[in-house]
Amino acid sequence: MSGKAQYRLDILLGILLFAGMSFALYMALIGAPTERTMGDLQRIFYFHVPAAITGLAAFATNFVSSLVFLLRKNRRWDALALASAELGILFFCMVLVTGPIWAKPVWFVWWTWSPRLTASFILCLLYVAYMLIRKSYEDPERKASVSAVFGVIAFVDAPLVWFSIRWWRDIHPSPMLETGGLDPSMRPAFYACLGAFLILFLYLLRRRFCLETMRNKVDGLLLRLDEMR
């Protein structure tokens, strides 16, 4: 893709993001009906759950790009893996912040060691470890290989963590969408928020990816400059 087309895509995504976010905010805060028992508090749901789904999508992206990097050895895939890991951590931080805010008035505790909470927390830790590995290798090629290996391990580990914790007692609402627990009148707002979060993810992913590939390009140019000197 040419630079100009790239730029146009960025603008387009930006506009889409702005429109989507505004619509989602309207739907979540005003459009959706107020929940009977929890009141307005329940509106956190429209941010909490989409953030979690988007975070999972980010970690899945990290897994796929790590795998492809290991097979192809193309640094662009490493840049994508880095971008998605950072965003995954970001979204899961949102989950871990909105969670306790929601839980305190409803369950009367900030934190419970329920499977969902624990697993989200561990998932976050796994990718913080991923970032630490990246920080502690200096040679970019080695950093890319090793972190890709860890990216694969972390994502494969995630379901095992989840199933291992699962048989503990669970007070977290089990997936409302699967059981049809979410009232149909709330669904439009939920899907609007989910869509907005996914666009946000794509937008940030693109920006971060471009930044990283640019950085690699600058390194390459500096190398060439050294050669010429």
Partner 1 sequence: MHKIWAIFRKDLLIEFRTKDSLTAMLFFGIVVLVVFNFALGSLHQAVRSAVPGVLWVAFAFSGTLGLNRLFAVEKENGCLQGLLMIPADRGAVYLGKMLASCFFMLIAEAVLFIAALVLFNLTVRNEIPWLMLVFVVGTLGFTAVGTLLSAIAVNTRLREVLLPLMLFPVILPILINAVEATDIILNSADYGALKLPLTVMSAFTIIFATISYLLFERVLEE
Partner 2 sequence: MIEARNLGKYFGRFAALNNLHLTVSDGEFIALFGKNGAGKTTLLRILAGLSRPSRGELKIKPSRQAPPGAVRGHIGYLSHETSLYMDLTAVENLRFHARLTDVPSDDRALAMRMQQVGLAGRERDPVRNFSRGMQQRLAIARAFLHNPDILLLDEPFTGLDSSGCDFFKSFLAAAHADGKTCIMAIHDTRLGYEIAERLVVISRGAVALDAAKPSLDYAQFREKLEPLLA
Q: Which does 140 bind (CB under 5 to 8 A by kind): partner 2, partner 1, none?
A: partner 2
Token code pair at residue 226: 């050294």
Contact with partner 1 (CB under 8 A): which of 10, 16, 76, 145? 145
Nearest to 85 by CA among 27, 15, 25, 154: 154
Amino acid at 141: E
213: helix, strand or coil: helix
Q: Residue 222 CB, nearest distance to partner 2 (Å)?
A: 5
**Segment contacting partner 1 by CB under 8 A, of 78-86, 152-160, 195-203, 215-223:** 152-160
Number of residues binding to partner 2, judged by CB under 8 A:
9
Q: For residues 81 and 58, what is the distance between their CA atoms, to the nearest angstrom?
A: 9
Q: Residue 23 CB, nearest distance to partner 1 (Å)?
A: 37
Q: Torsion-angle region of residue 180: left (phi > 0), alpha (psi -120 to 50) or beta?
A: left
Chain position carrying tokens 């790239």: 6
Nearer to partner 1, 70 or 182 (CB): 70
Q: For residues 129 and 7, what is the distance between their CA atoms, to the nearest angstrom?
A: 34
Nearer to partner 1, 91 or 127 (CB): 127
Token code pair at residue 220: 């390459």
Instruction: For residue 222, state whether it binds partner 2 (rule: CB under 8 A).
Output: yes
> Which string of x and - marks every residue 2-41 that binds partner 2 (by CB under 8 A)?
----------------------------------------
Instruction: For residue 138, state whether it binds partner 1 (rule: CB under 8 A).
Output: yes
Amino acid at 140: P
Nearer to partner 2, 40 or 226 (CB): 226
15: helix, strand or coil: helix
What are the distances in angstroms from CA 51 to CA 59, 87, 194, 201?
12, 11, 8, 10
Token code pair at residue 61: 């992206």
Q: Which does 219 bind (CB under 5 to 8 A by kind): partner 2, partner 1, none?
A: partner 2
Q: Which does 108 bind (CB under 5 to 8 A by kind): partner 2, partner 1, none?
A: none
Instruction: For residue 136, state whether it binds partner 2 (rule: CB under 8 A).
Output: no
Residues forming contacts to partner 2 in the complex (CB under 8 A) are 138-141, 219, 222-223, 226-227
